[in-house]
Amino acid sequence: MDASDAVQLADQITRALNTPFVLEGREIFITTSIGIAVSTSAHERPTDLLRNADVAMYRAKAQGRATYEVFDVAMNTLALERLDLEANLRRAVERGEFKVYYQPQMELSTGRLAGWEALVRWSHPEQGLLPPSAFLSIVEETGLITQIGNLVLEEACRQAKEWQERHPTASTSLKMSVNISARQFQRPHQLVREVVRVLEETELAPGCLVLEITESMIMGDAEYNAEILGRLIDLGVAIAIDDFGTGYSNLAYLKRFPVDILKVDKAFVDGLGVNEDTAIVEAMISIANALNLGTVAEGIETTEQLDRLEVLGCDLGQGYYFSGPLSAHEASLLLTASASRRSKTGADM
């Protein structure tokens, strides 16, 4: 078999596995990433071929999964870099190098601070502060995402409670939004236990916590996922659907899910007033209103975007127009300023 034969077979396998199948009464969707390595020397050992195929498979995953890659020599360098990065990430968890930053969410109709989204950053000892795009795919593949996700959840809730105690008049109604990874959501018993533990230990009221779950995470087995969301809702927390409109956007499914908030993805906000994205955003907000859901627009960067979203009736917004992600100290200063403005407004009344 040569490379072209292997590619043809990989293509057939990929297409066959793209078809959903039923397992114990549930419809299951899976994808596959395939690595291909072809022997070029009679002296090449089987273990070398397996290693090369494994390297190609990880390359396929990095390309977005549900595909295949054929090994080439250049991949060796990438594989070594990946191993170094994985080792550094494990040490980073142990050393506490992952930090939580907070991006404010603003009430569009009043300009008031309404909440925060907790975002993880890697404080690399040599490269400085790194965004999730620099490490997220690796921590997801290695399973470190669960440990990091739990760290962010606990720190965000602890910080929210601390702000409430420091600024009771300004922060008791503020929501703290925390992203839940696909791997966390796939282990619902552990996820529910972790949320309960964190809320009990930090003494944060469940109503102050919003768990953000991407649209693609819940569109597989609707009945089962609705049950998971229901268990989280029963704890008293709110559920937001992140990146709405970028995935399956099955409205029949959405109607069945016990969710509270739809987040409009930055990709659609970028197109406001430029292309058909204005109509799409308007439709999203109308859907949310019809289902009695709140709306949050991500990635607001201009006055024009803000004005259009306000006219369309979007509830909240976040983005660099207001502020980028802030350290806990910087966020505390913003909260103090917000509390001062509210106090003056109340005095004027």
- Looking at residue 347, its pLDDT comes to 44
Distance between CA atoms of residues 206 and 237, nearest Å:
5
- Looking at residue 251, its pLDDT comes to 67
- Under 8 Å between Cβ of 254 and 283: no
For residue 144, give both structure tokens: 């470190």
- Looking at residue 22, its pLDDT comes to 77
Neighbouring C-beta atoms of residue 348, cutoff 10 Å: 6
Distance between CA atoms of residues 124 and 97, nearest Å:
7
- Could you say which residues of the chain have pLDDT below 70? 1, 24, 41-44, 64-65, 73-74, 76, 78-79, 170-171, 220, 245-253, 341-349
Specify the residue for token string 């291909």. Answer: 36
- Looking at residue 48, its pLDDT comes to 77
- Under 8 Å between Cβ of 120 and 99: yes
Neighbouring C-beta atoms of residue 196, cutoff 10 Å: 12
The helix/strand/coil state of 257 is coil
- What region, left, alpha or beta, does residue 89 occupy, with left being phi > 0 and alpha being psi -120 to 50 degrees? alpha
Q: How far apart are the first and last CA of the chain?
A: 82
- Looking at residue 247, its pLDDT comes to 57
Q: What is the pTM of this model?
A: 0.79
